[in-house]
Amino acid sequence: MVIEIDRIFAENSNRTHGFGNIILTTFEPFTKNPAISKVFREIGLADEVGSGMRNTYKFTKLYSGGVPQFIEGDTFKTVIPLNETATLKAGPKSRDQVSDQVENDTIAMKILEFCKTARTKKEISEYIGYKNLTYMTRTYLKPLLESKKLKYTIPEKPKSRLQKYITKQ
């Protein structure tokens, strides 16, 4: 990855499915580097395939007003234009915090919608694409329970193997 004054440029080895620019509205998501992808999924740091590209478009427009480029080939290339004013105003910490919060809020909303019917922790985890139950519980379920947006079906036994979660009406 190279960070320049006007852009961020990254290259990664790739299992190619074509050549040239990828357009958000027409792309078909697939894993670019299965080995790396598997590691991130196993440790609970990867979402669904394609979400990174959608998030990159969204946040590039938000921070720099530009449009990122994704270039398919034997090497996958990403070019993110930077706006100096946006870089100075936001800085790296602000970007990370906003990105994480938006992602967490989106997943929390998916969980609340899914749990309109009582669901097990495993069902929720599979639905949002997380294999790491501990991470998913700490990051999403616990805050939703604490904010009383989600509730236990067996509140007197929160660690019961029969426990399910349901959206509070």
Task: For 98-112, write each residue's pLDDT tens digit.
Answer: 445 545 577 888 899
The CATH architecture assigned to 92-169 reads Orthogonal Bundle (1.10)
- pLDDT higher than 90, residue 96: no
Coil/strand/helix, residue 4: coil
Residue 60 backbone zone (phi > 0: left; psi -120 to 50: alpha; other: beta): alpha
Query: In the prediction, which pLDDT does 37 show?
Result: 72
Q: Which two tokens stand for residue 158?
A: 């929160």
Q: Is the pLDDT of residue 123 over 90?
A: yes
Q: Can you tell me which residue has the tokens 């495993």?
A: 122
61-86, pLDDT tens digit by residue? 887 788 888 888 878 888 888 876 55
Percent of the chain with pLDDT over 70: 73
- Domain chopping of the chain, boundaries: 1-82, 92-169
**Cα 8 from Cα 139, distance rounded (Å):** 29
Spatial separation of the C-alpha atoms in residues 126 and 120, rounded to whole Å: 10
Residue 42 has pLDDT above 60, yes or no: yes
